[in-house]
Structure 1
């Protein structure tokens, strides 16, 4: 029965694209995030839904969509270079069979991120893409949040929509993506036009934010806790009443402590003492091995080059109760352990050239969004403009991702590259709708040219934009 419902829903979604081809882009975003073909048990598991939506999205844009306003940005060029370099390292990978398995989904993630901005020609399209991303993530997050609230969960045991511990359904990756999506959800609640802001929108948003914050608890993912704390501090830059926000956040934290599972508290306590936790100790050893590997192979070893690692190390933990506690040392030998860090993942697999390209891509995103924040903060609408809000949300989401990426291998995660595609689309849209003279340099408030720019922006933002 569930297969028939999923097939009917996806089929209806794709059928809508016959009238509005851009909907195929949205369909691919939904399918790539939720993976409905993995939720069912019968016929839907044999359907290549992701490939079908991918082909329709690209063919629809190529043959049916208007190209007016589509621009190829510098960051899209960097994605193209990274894609080409990943192809080169895959061809010469240390483990060619395993590398091809990973290449099969990485190239689609990079290609779609490069392609997505070309379709985001209007504000409505930017909003629609952000909305589908939030709703798709919410499909997974709300499910996990409800189960956590009802007492389910635990490290590696939280049951989500699919029975696999990979991609967005892996605990640490889902925790990072859930926290990173919170700023986008809040932006849609404030500036959405598809669903106008009202009590229903805000109720759903509050529920989603609460569920997203529960995911690190339900998965017992230390990465999620670090990301949530980082976002809480980061949002101090953009909230209007900082002291009120800080006070409410502190009260909420204190109020939640008695309800946290003991297993979660014990696992979080290992953040500051990695030697007492085998998982954390392994990560440190893998990172050391990767640095040594990069010295011998500066151009990288291709996807899954970590399969060649092997090391022995000591763990240390306390046993017994005070005052009879004692330190127990154990020797552990491990091999073929994953990087558990996007930075080391890029370094080991793509070498220094690939890591530099990836860093350049990420740094430009933070810088471009900061320039947009600066630009629209000085405008007449100021921080209430939708452009300022979206640039802030995308910058916060990327910053959370970069923090989470320190501890989990999500260097090529499709969801994150969709965020990058949104950034490129917003940057291109603003450059197209803002006069060159007004954006040629960062102007101080009151300097000539701001009035003309704002008049153009207001006229553009108030003109109805069709979805196609």
Structure 2
């Protein structure tokens, strides 16, 4: 048995024991690791039993949710989170689109997959019921992303100037793998900033592998997303009104370290590919994809109800000239925003907009509460998660990944932060008010 196979089995069965004996949150962390390790498609898979590891992890999540509902899961009620109704409406729209889907076979398959993702996110939301749980799943994501970066490093560029064949079960393309790593840049900045010396060393090691993976995979969209996320978070560190000791110095150190690392890791192939974004006339460049995007509006004029999943690809040849799409008959729209528009029609982007706004509204209240209590560390944790989601959406603007698991993990993390730092606090206040009305002479408990 290979060392990787043995390590995987130790992690897998150790995760099961941790979920059953220690904390239900470990069940979702185990699911995160299985997602990234993707044992069915790795070279070491022949050395392990042919089990449905991902399904086992999900069943474990549901089991600990049911058995510990009063103890833990009741702290995260679904209906108290405003984003819940928008997620349900988006999922409901995919089922409604069975009436209009141009490719019903693909629509059926991927709607079922998206339903599974929503169920997993719903269960995980219940399990991320505390600050420690939120911290654990952030590290679970970083651990998985680090493995993907390591895999890219040891594999090397095996398809011209890119790395192929290292993705996850829901995305095997090089761009799919690269965009998965993007939010890690911001989250690692936060973890390194707030951690002790050992944590910072660990973050540097993880960050080096992840950054090298991004360089080797050579995705222009991932580069834009990572640069946007890192840039925005650095601006928060430098110019936020809420400062802690050494904050600006740490930001400057990150800039110097990041630039030094970039100069060391990047090569001519990387910069050559990034430079193609400047050529607006080159149809093979990222900018040339805008013609794919504009074709969506023409399709919507003739199919205002939407096309369903893979509907855009089905009829793209009739809307995109051969000189633009090349020899490929079925072109993807290459943007999650326009993917959503083509799949669900105009209600899709509108519902997703309200979903994002509901998350930001709750988290704005959470940040106000944290600042009023002088808890700047937790304030910047929420900011990091919001910026991580933003960085993913920037990258997803150049690839069809609306139904990807990592996007919904980022939404989950932001929603869980709003619950832990605001919704639970509001629920506690409501119980105290109710207790006072029922027992006027009761002594008020401290916050």
Establish whether TM, by shorter chain, passes 0.5.
yes
Q: 1:212 aligns with which of 210, 213, 232?
A: 210
1:54 and 2:52 are equivalent in the alignment: no
Distance 1:232 1:419 in 2: 16
Give the Å deviation of 1:367.
Answer: 4.0
Q: Is contact 1:90–1:303 with CA below 8 Å preserved after alignment?
A: no
1:176 and 2:174 are equivalent in the alignment: no
1:292 and 2:301 are equivalent in the alignment: no
1:213-232, Cα deviation, whole Å (9 max, x unpaired): 22332111111221222123
Match of 2:440 in 1: none
Measured on the aligned residues, the alpha-carbon RMSD in Å equals: 3.3
Q: Is contact 2:279–2:285 with CA below 8 Å preserved after alignment?
A: no
User: Within 5 Å, which residues of 2 pair with 1:26-425?
Assistant: 26-39=29-42, 40-42=44-46, 44=48, 46-66=50-70, 67-72=73-78, 73-90=81-98, 92-145=100-153, 152=157, 157-158=162-163, 162=166, 167=170, 169-191=172-194, 197-240=195-238, 245=251, 249=255, 253=259, 256-257=262-263, 260-278=266-284, 280=286, 283-307=289-313, 308-310=315-317, 311-312=320-321, 314=323, 332=326, 334-381=328-375, 383-384=376-377, 387-425=378-416
1:325-348, Cα deviation, whole Å (9 max, x unpaired): xxxxxx945421112100011001
Give the Å deviation of 1:244.
Answer: 7.9
Q: Is contact 1:154–1:218 with CA below 8 Å preserved after alignment?
A: no
Distance 2:110 2:224 in 1: 28
Distance 1:286 1:14 in 2: 45
Distance 1:11 1:44 in 2: 12
Give the Å deviation of 1:209.
Answer: 2.0
Distance 2:178 2:93 in 1: 29
Distance 2:265 2:121 in 1: 40
Distance 2:29 2:264 in 1: 41
Match of 2:19 in 1: 17
User: Within 5 Å, which residues of 2 pair with 1:428-447?
Assistant: 428-434=419-425
- The 1:157/1:271 distance shift into structure 2, 3 A limit, reads closer
- The 1:210/1:169 distance shift into structure 2, 3 A limit, reads farther
Distance 2:130 2:405 in 1: 23
Distance 2:21 2:291 in 1: 54
1:83-128, Cα deviation, whole Å (9 max, x unpaired): 1211222464211222233223211112222332222222222222
| Aligned-partner SS, 1:94 | coil
Q: Is contact 1:167–1:413 with CA below 8 Å preserved after alignment?
A: yes
Aligned length: 415
Distance 1:188 1:35 in 2: 25
1:329-385, Cα deviation, whole Å (9 max, x unpaired): xx945421112100011001111112211122123334433443343234323x23x
Distance 1:12 1:247 in 2: 37
